[in-house]
Structure 1
Amino acid sequence: MHALCVSGGALIAGLLVWCGVTVAPAQAQDAPFITPSADTDVLYEVTSPTGDAVMKQRMRWQVSSLRQRLDPENSPVFMITSWPDHTLTVVDEGRKRESVMPAPSQGLTPPGKPAMTGTYARLGGSVVAGEQCTLWRTKDADGHSSDVCYTADGILLQVAQGGQITVRALTVSRTAQPDSVFAVPAGLKTEAPATP
C-alpha cells in the first residue's frame, strides 16, 4: 500500500508501508498497523542499499484527508500522495513544474487497521527515535525479507534489509498537519511524469 518508489531525491523504496509491496493475505492478529492513526511529522535518515549514500527525508501525514508529503533534504522536489484521489504529485519548485500520476499502490490500509496484505512475523520490540515499536519481518513481491518496526499507532520507525538499516526515524512528532502542507503551489507548469 505504500509509497513506495523513487530514489535519490524521490520516493523511497524503503518506506514500505505506502508502497504495498507485500503479496499474501495477513491475519489481523499477525500484522502491524501500517498507516498512522494520528497526524504525524517524521524525519527519516535513508541509506542506499549499498550503504554509500545517506540522505534525510521528512514525511508528513494527515489522517483526515489521507494525504502524505515527502520532502527529501536539500531538494526543491517534494511529493504529495492523496489516497482518496489515487494521485501522486511530484512538485519541482526549482523548475516550477508539477507531474501528476496514479499513486504507486493498490490501496491504503485504513488507519487503526492491521495490514490487509502481506505476511508478517513478529520479532520483538525496539526503541527508535525515543519511540517504542514492534519489529516485524515481511517480504516484498520478489521474496526479499525486510525487518520493519512500527509503533502501536502505525508509524514506520525503521526498515532493515539484509541486516543493514536503510530507513530510520530520527524524530517523531504527532502534531496536527494543516491543509496548507499538502497544497500544490499555484502557477506551476504541468509536465508528463518521467518514465524509466
Structure 2
Amino acid sequence: MPRAFRKGKLVLLFAAMCGAASISHSLAADDAATGPFVTPSVDVDVRYEMASPDGGKPVGQRMRWQVSSLRQRIDPEGSAVYMVTSWRDGTLAVVDTLHRRRSVMPAPGAALTPPGQVAPGSFQRLGSDMAAGQSCVLWRTADQDGRPVDACYTADGILVRVSQQGQVKVNAVSVSRTAQSDDVFAVPSDFAVAAPAR
C-alpha cells in the first residue's frame, strides 16, 4: 500500500486556517442569531500570513475559492503539496506534486455555512477594521476550546484577520476578487493514491 502522507506543519497550517473560518460552528446557535457571513459569496484569491506555531517568522499561505462549486484550494508557501476541499462532495484532497501522489479523505470540521447566510453561533460585534485594503467587521466569538477569538470578515464573507489574546494569528496581505477556473481545483487522476495520514 502506498505510504500515507505525513502530518506536519502543512496540515497544522491548514487546520488553523479552517478553524479560523469556521470557529463559530463550535458554539450553540442563538435564538436571535447575529453574526458574520463566513463563506465567500464571490470567487476570490487571498494571500495570507499566518503566525508560525513555533514562534518563528510568519508563514505565507494562498487560498482560492470558487463559489459555484463550493471548492477551496490551499497552497502553503514553499510547499509542493496543495489541498482542495469540495464542500459539495464532502471531501478533502491532499495533492503532493513532488512525489505525484494524492490522498482523499472526508472534509474536516462542521458543515459549511452557505454563502450569504449568517453563521450559527454566538457573536459580539466589536466594530470595523481594515486588512489588505479591505473594510471588515470585527466579531468576537470562541474557538473550539472556548477561548475568545476575534475574526474580521468582509461584507461578502472573506476572512481577512484573526487575532487571539491581542496577537494576530491570520492576516490577509492581498485580496483579489477574480474568477477561479475549474483547473485551479483539479486533482490529477494519474497520481498514485496514498492512504490518508492518521
Length-normalised TM-score, structure 2: 0.89
Structure 2 contact 134–154 (Cα < 8 Å) conserved? yes
Post-superposition offset of 1:17? 1.6
Separation of aligned partners in 2, 1:191 and 1:77 = 13
Contact 1:13 1:19 in 2 (8 A): no
Give the counterpart letter for 1:138 in structure 2. Answer: T
Which segments of 5 or more consecutive residues in structure 1 lack a partner in the other structure? Answer: 1-5
Offset, 1:186 = 3.2
1:145 aligns with 2:148: yes
**Percent identical:** 53
Q: Structure 2: how far apart are the matches of 1:28 and 1:111?
A: 19
Whole-angstrom distance in 2 between the partners of 1:175 and 1:56 = 20
Greater shift, 62-71 or 15-24, is seen at: 15-24
The alpha-carbon distance between structure 1 residues 7 and 153, as it changes in their structure 2 partners (threshold 3 A), is: farther
| Contact kept? 1:20, 1:105, Cα under 8 Å | no
- Contact 2:25–2:119 at 8 Å: present in 1 too? no
TM-score, length of structure 1 as denominator length? 0.90
Alignment-derived partner of residue 193 in structure 2: 190
Give aligned pairs, total. 189
Shift of 1:141: 2.3
CA contact (8 A) 1:26 1:120 kept: no
Amino acid at match of 1:179: D
Partner Cα distance (2:137, 2:31) in 1: 16
CA RMSD for the aligned pairs? 1.7
Partner of 2:4: none
Q: Secondary structure at the match of 1:171?
A: strand
CA contact (8 A) 2:33 2:122 kept: no
Pair 1:164 & 2:173 matched: no
Structure 2: gaps spanning 5 or more residues: 1-6
Partner of 1:123: 126
Which residue does the alignment assign to 2:184?
181
Separation in structure 2 between the aligned mates of residue 160 and residue 113 of structure 1, nearest angstrom: 23
> 2:9 is aligned with what amino acid?
G
Which runs of structure 1 show a deviation greater than 3 angstroms over 4 or more consecutive aligned residues? 18-21, 26-29
Aligned partner letter, 1:173? S
Match of 1:8 in 2: 9
Are residues 193 and 54 of structure 1, via their aligned partners in 2, closer, same or farther at CA, if it must alter by over 3 Å? same
Task: Tell me, yes or no, if the aligned pair for 1:22 and 1:119 is still in contact at 8 Å.
Answer: no
Q: How does 1:32-181 map to 2 (within 5 A)?
A: 32-49=36-53, 51-116=55-120, 118-181=121-184
AA at the equivalent of 2:79: S
Counterpart amino acid of 2:55? Answer: G
Structure number with the bigger relative contact order (C-alpha 8 A, sep ≥ 6) is 2
Higher helix residue share: 2
